[in-house]
Amino acid sequence: MPTIAAQPYEYAFPAGKLALVVIDMQRDFIEEGGFGSVLGNDVAPLARIVPTVRRLLDGFRAAGLPVIHTREGHVPDLSDCPPSKRARGRGSLTIGDAGPMGRILVDGEPGNDLVPDLAALPGETVILKPGKGAFYATPLDALLKRLGVNHLVFAGVTTEVCVQTTMREANDRGYECLLAEDATESYFPEFKAATLAMIRAQGGIVGWTAPTDAVVRALA
């Protein structure tokens, strides 16, 4: 089987049976004026990974392997958003409120779109997820089973919230998961570092991590 140079040891995957899952590379989290910056975060670190995520996307596309994008968002009437989720943060704006890029985390609003450089191509799946994890209340598990894919590479934001949650959900379902270290980011550098350490601890209790270059080399 092909392998990727990874931590804590080589990651092996069946040829042609590897998918890329790009988590929540949305304008609301990555651009100035989006929800992330409205909450007081510096979005620049997240914006800086866009070219790296694009390189990873290009590698999977060139290899003819499945690419899946997710967006965190809710239907316009917020019927899929628990009141407890809206109440958290106690900022001036919250989910559903009108922000600089339209209603925050609402499907169909400009801020909920993927950043233009990472837009999905025709034939690529985009999953709208109402929670942090991409398996909750979505067709992701059924889609992967239909594709016959059990090995996943992850990228996206934020490392310690939606990315890690999805990887843990996938791990519990028996998927073999690798996180591209430089194609993920957090508003808090120490949170990213801790998450990478947790994922690969104890012999890869949640999965593997590797730089994007190592992944792209293996695909080529």
What is the set of active-site residues? Answer: 24, 129, 162
Q: Could you tell me the CA-to-CA distances from 6 to 24, 50, 167, 187 in Å, in that order?
A: 24, 22, 16, 24
Alpha-carbon distance of 1 to 3, in angstroms, equals 6
Could you tell me how far CA 143 lies from the centroid of its own chain?
16
Structure tokens at 121: 């191509």
Which amino acid does the sequence have at 149?
V
Alpha-carbon distance of 112 to 124, in angstroms, equals 17
Phi, psi of 99 (to 5 degrees): -120, -175
Cβ atoms of residues 5 and 209 within 8 Å: no
Q: Residue 193: CB partners within 8 Å, gap ≥ 6?
A: none
Nearest in space to 20 (alpha carbons), one of 196, 165, 201, 166: 166
Cβ atoms of residues 29 and 41 within 8 Å: no
Radius of gyration of the chain from its Cα atoms, rounded to whole angstroms: 17
Could you tell me how far CA 107 lies from the centroid of its own chain?
17
